[in-house]
Amino acid sequence: MAVNPQFMHDWWAKWSSRVRSAFSRDGIEASSSRQNLVENAVSSHARTTTSDYTELNGGSVPCPSCNGSGLIPKELESTLVALIPVNDERLKPKRTWLYISIWIMVCIIIGGVLLFLFMPRTVVLNSNEVPIEIVHVYDRDNATSTYIDFYFLNTINVSSGNYLPVSVLNITATIISKFQPWSMDVVGYGENDTFSQTTPLDLYRNTRELSFNNTVSLKGFAA
C-alpha cells in the first residue's frame, strides 16, 4: 500500500497543532488561575489591612490638639474645651448633697433626742397638806412667856422629771417667822434622817413622800 508523503505531512502538522493548542490553553488557564489566586490573596490582605485600620481609627482623624497622643500641653489646659455627650453619666445629677442632707438631719434628730433625755431637770418640793395645827411643846417660860420651844411633823412631796436616776443625799428645811410682814427671822430647822450618802434616795421620774421633823424656838413677842 503506498502512502502519500504529502498526506502524512499534513496530518502530522494538524495533530501537532492541536496538541500545542491544547497545552497552550491549559497553560493559559493555569497561569490565569495562579494570577487570580495571587490577586485574591492580595485583595484579601488589602481588605484585612483596611478593615483593621478602620477599626483602629473608626473612620476618624487624629485629634488636632494632642495629635493622637491623648495628652495636651499644660499651657493649653485652661483654653481647651471638652465636649461631653448629653447621655454621659458624668452629666447626670449626683445625689451626694441629698445623702449629706439626710445624714445631717439624722444627726440633728439624734442629737435633739439625746439632749432632751440627758438635760438635767429641777427636783421639785411641794406639799398638799393643810396648815399645821398640832405641835408638841417641850420647853417654855410659864412665868414670863418670853420663849417657847416645840416641834412638829410635816410631809412634803419630792418629784423628779429627769430621765436619768437622781440620788438625793441630804435634804433640810429652814423655818422662817413672818410675825411682821417685813421680818424674815429664822426660828427653826427641819431634817429627814431616813437617807444619807451611804443610802441615798433614788428618784426616776417619780414622786416620793418625805416626812420632816421640825424644831422651832420662838422668843419675845413671837412667843
C-alpha neighbours within 13 Å on the C-beta side of residue 112: 6
How far apart are alpha carbons 217 and 223 in whole angstroms?
8
- As a whole number of angstroms, the distance between CA 143 and CA 9 comes to 196
Cell 438625793, residue located? 168
pLDDT tens by residue, the chain, 223 residues: 444 556 666 666 666 666 566 555 555 555 565 555 545 544 544 444 444 434 444 555 566 666 666 677 777 777 777 778 878 877 777 788 889 999 999 999 999 999 999 998 888 888 776 777 778 888 887 777 788 888 888 888 888 888 888 888 888 888 888 777 777 888 888 888 777 767 788 888 888 888 888 888 888 766 6
d(CA 20, CA 23): 5
**pTM more than 0.75:** no
In DSSP notation, 36-70 reads HHHHHHHHHHHHHHHHHHHHHHTT----TTTTTSS
Pairing of strands 136-140, 147-160: antiparallel
Q: By C-alpha distance, which of 112, 109, 204, 129 is closest to 159?
A: 204
Whole-number CA gyration radius for the chain: 61
List the grid coordinates of 166: 437622781
